[in-house]
Structure formats: structure tokens, C-alpha cells
Amino acid sequence: MGTDQMNRTPGLAGLAQRRADAQPFAVFLYIWGLEWLITSAIEFFDPGQGLLSVERGLLFAAILLTAAVLLWRSRSSKSMAAPRPRGRGSIAGPAAYVLALALLVADLHYAGGIDAFYAPLLKGVVLAAAYGWLSRWLGRPLVYLSLWMLALTVTVAITYLGFASVLLGGFGGLSMLALGSWLSLWRTLLYGKGDLAAS
């Protein structure tokens, strides 16, 4: 989409700006998308609990990486909330709610409040809901991603429940990696490669 067309259509320009401003969150999607994807691959190749310590190590590494990125950003001139609110506002607020929901689900799971057999289904539903909610700020592609994740979760629940952890973890991880790539692409399309490298 050209700059002239966006200038004539303020709604499209606002959407493009919100998408570009969300790019700093791509790193978190890469971290957690890889964690989900690698963990599901481990569960596929080792269906027993033989590599449970490796899975927990991956989870701990993802938490540490997330904390390190947050700490680094808080100490640098850039911060997670650096993008100024435009149009419907910054995506930092919605992202914080999604993170809080994910932490609540993880806490319930590890406290034994959720049956381990159904925990992957809850992860799929939460991810689908998060995409649907974030679509208010990032547009229609996230609606499609949300519907696809929800359809996959329902299909797995009905026909492939025994493979829920592998399928939903794998495809959920891939969807996070795809969204991270979209965020980077959207910023590049608006500002060019030089701005992306500087962010």
C-alpha cells in the first residue's frame, strides 16, 4: 500500500502505524513460539517423560530470555511502551492483559487446577482468544489466525485429543513465529529496513 493511499485513508494509515508500533513485541513471539515448537517436537519424538527435564529447562530459558529482554529495554532509552498511542492507542496495554492471562493459565496448570490431559486445549483456546482480542489493534489477519487456532483446537479436542500437546504446541508455536514475522514485515513496509534494524 502506497503512502499516498494511506494519507487519503486515515483508518488504513492508523492501522499501518499500530502494526509498525507493535514490532518491538516480535521478540517475545519468537522466544515463546520457539519454546512451544521445540517442546512439542520433544513430546512427539519422546512421548514418555524421559526428557521432561529438558522441557522444563526450555521453559525456564524462555522465562529468563523474556526477563532479560525486559530488563535490557528498561535500562536502555527504548522501552516496551515507547510507541506513542495513536488511533485506538498503544498495543502495550492489550499485550499486558494477554501476558497476565497466560501467567494465570500457567499457574493453574502447575498448581494442579487443570487436568494435564486438557491443559493443551486450554492453551489453544487462550491463544485463539488472544489473537482475536489483538485483532482490534492489528487488523484482519489476526482474526483469521484466531479462527484458525480455534478451529484447530476444536478439531484436536474431538478427534486427536491424545496428540493435543504436540499438535497445538507445534502449530501454536508456528503461529507465534508467523505473527512475529508479520510485525517485523509491517514495520519494514512502513519505515524501511533501516528503521527496523535500529529498533
Residue 97's pLDDT is 64
pLDDT of residue 93: 62
Global confidence as pTM: 0.77
If you ran DSSP here, which 8-state letter would residue 161 be given?
G
Residue matched to cell numbers 501454536? 172
User: How many helices and strands, by DSSP H and E, does the chain display?
Assistant: 9, 0
pLDDT score recorded for residue 168: 94
Instruction: Show the 3-state SS of 13-69.
Output: HHHHHHHHHCHHHHHHHHHHHHHHHHHHHHHHHCCCCCCHHHHHHHHHHHHHHHHHH
> And the C-alpha cell for 33?
513460539
The per-residue pLDDT for 87 is 44
Alpha-carbon gap, residue 27 to 18, rounded angstroms: 17
Q: What is the pLDDT of residues 84-134, one digit of tens each?
A: 444 445 556 666 666 666 666 665 656 666 676 778 888 898 899 889 988
pLDDT tens digits in sequence order for the chain, 199 residues long: 444 444 444 567 788 888 888 888 899 999 999 999 999 999 898 877 777 788 889 989 998 998 899 888 888 754 444 444 444 455 566 666 666 666 666 656 566 666 767 788 888 988 998 899 889 889 899 999 999 999 999 999 999 888 998 999 999 999 999 999 999 998 888 777 655 444 4
